[in-house]
Amino acid sequence: MDLLTALVDKGLRREPPTRDEALAVLATSDDELLDVVAAAGRVRRQWFGRRVKLNYLVNLKSGLCPEDCSYCSQRLGSQADILKYTWLKPDEAVAAATAGVSGGAKRVCLVASGRGPTDRDVDRVSKTIEAIKEGNEGVEVCACLGLLSGDQAERLRAAGADAYNHNLNTSEGTYAGITTTHTYDDRVDTVRQAQAAGLSACSGLIAGMGESDADLVDVVFSLRALDPDSVPVNFLIPFEGTPLAKEWNLTPQRCLRILAMVRFVCPDVEVRLAGGREVHLRTMQPLALHLVNSIFLGDYLTSEGQAGQADLDMITDAGFEVEGAETTTLPAHRRADGDGAPAAGGSGCGSHDTGCGSCEHGEPAAARTVAAATSAPGPAASAGARTDLVAVRRRGAGTDLPPNA
């Protein structure tokens, strides 16, 4: 396909596709799927080889959130039967983090429900970060605490945090239909605060909320302009008791096309396969490793993932290798000083050195532009949906049971 040849050439040069080309990837047929995966896989291997970075989530505070994000089991008014608990003690958080590191995780992600942290919360998390770093040499720590204010980003950085996660989740045009208690601009501002403080920005999306192909392309191009170092791609887990409980819009094939599109738009960025992979990709998960270079190990915040050992076996069986702590994830051109330190801020367009600022540039659409995709919604509720695969987390942080790592 001329389209895929053009996309590979651009990806190897760190150039973005046009919007029409990105839409065309989402509009490819199932007969073309393996060609799409192979093409995006060439770009993935150019910048990340066959390495897979493992990340481990620790839910520091679960449930009872005052925000009304429709996709979230921890939202205001959620009837989902999830674990609910207040802040873990530092030693509990360290024990959970250490389990993930022992299982092979290179990065620990500390997450807390809520609109954003108080200054006291930042102090609490800072102590936890310091304790994790002290007991686990070489581990990266990412914080995900909601909207930041004042000097909170700087304080987290001073405590030893390497990164901050705050996802855009969906396009600016559809954001108000998903969340009303804060705005899309609030999220963008928090990512920029993290970057300004010298934290590596982690920001991604959730697919499967009923969005159109155009919405998906919009949010991914917005992410490229924001220039995070990590882009997690979540697939909606439709929890019973949330407004989106009936949104079963994904198939394994559509998930793979979405991941391929993200890789083409963000060729040299850490693309992370995140929540929902077990539910929606199922036995197709190994194919996704040809598109992403990062996954979460074991369980998620409120849902169970597949066994940690199964994750490791999958990586090995697919011909990939777990990235060690001694290896720098990002290619050299995305680092501030060439020694692995994260670059602060960024100049847009996903390369840290182009300075184009817009991401609307690029060559004319190659061969196969699918104009209809600009407004066409994703497929109707998948006939292959496996609602039985949604399992609420009952182990690990906040329980007396050992974590899945």
Please say if 202 is a catalytic residue: yes
Report which residue type is found at 264. Answer: F
Q: Which of 14, 44, 65, 349 is catalytic?
A: 65
Q: Please, which residues have CB within 8 angstroms of residue 107's CB and are 6 or more apart in sequence?
A: 53, 54, 55, 56, 139, 140, 141, 142, 162, 163
Annotated binding-site ranges for [4Fe-4S] cluster = 65, 69, 72
Q: Which of 14, 44, 107, 142 is catalytic?
A: 142
Q: Which of 109, 144, 266, 359 is catalytic?
A: 109
Helices 184-196 and 152-159, axial angle in degrees (round to 10): 40
Counting other chains too, the contacts that 331-337 makes at CB distance below 8 Å and 24 or more residues apart are: 331/47, 331/48, 331/268, 333/14, 333/268, 334/229, 334/268, 334/269
Q: Which of 14, 19, 44, 72 is catalytic?
A: 72
Please say if 359 is a catalytic residue: no
Annotated binding-site ranges for [2Fe-2S] cluster = 109, 142, 202, 272
Q: How far is Cα 92 from Cα 87, in angstroms, rounded to an integer?
A: 10
Please say if 72 is a catalytic residue: yes
Would you state the torsion angle of the CA atoms of residues 18, 206, 171, 375, taken in this order, to the nearest 10 degrees?
60
Q: Which of 202, 255, 266, 349 is catalytic?
A: 202
Please say if 69 is a catalytic residue: yes
Q: How far is Cα 107 from Cα 104, in angstroms, rounded to an integer?
A: 9
Per-residue tokens: 297: 């190990």
Tell which residue, 173, 248, 256, has the closest CA to residue 209.
Answer: 248
Q: Which of 272, 277, 335, 393 is catalytic?
A: 272
Q: Which of 69, 144, 349, 359 is catalytic?
A: 69
Please say if 277 is a catalytic residue: no
List, by residue number, the catalytic residues: 65, 69, 72, 109, 142, 202, 272
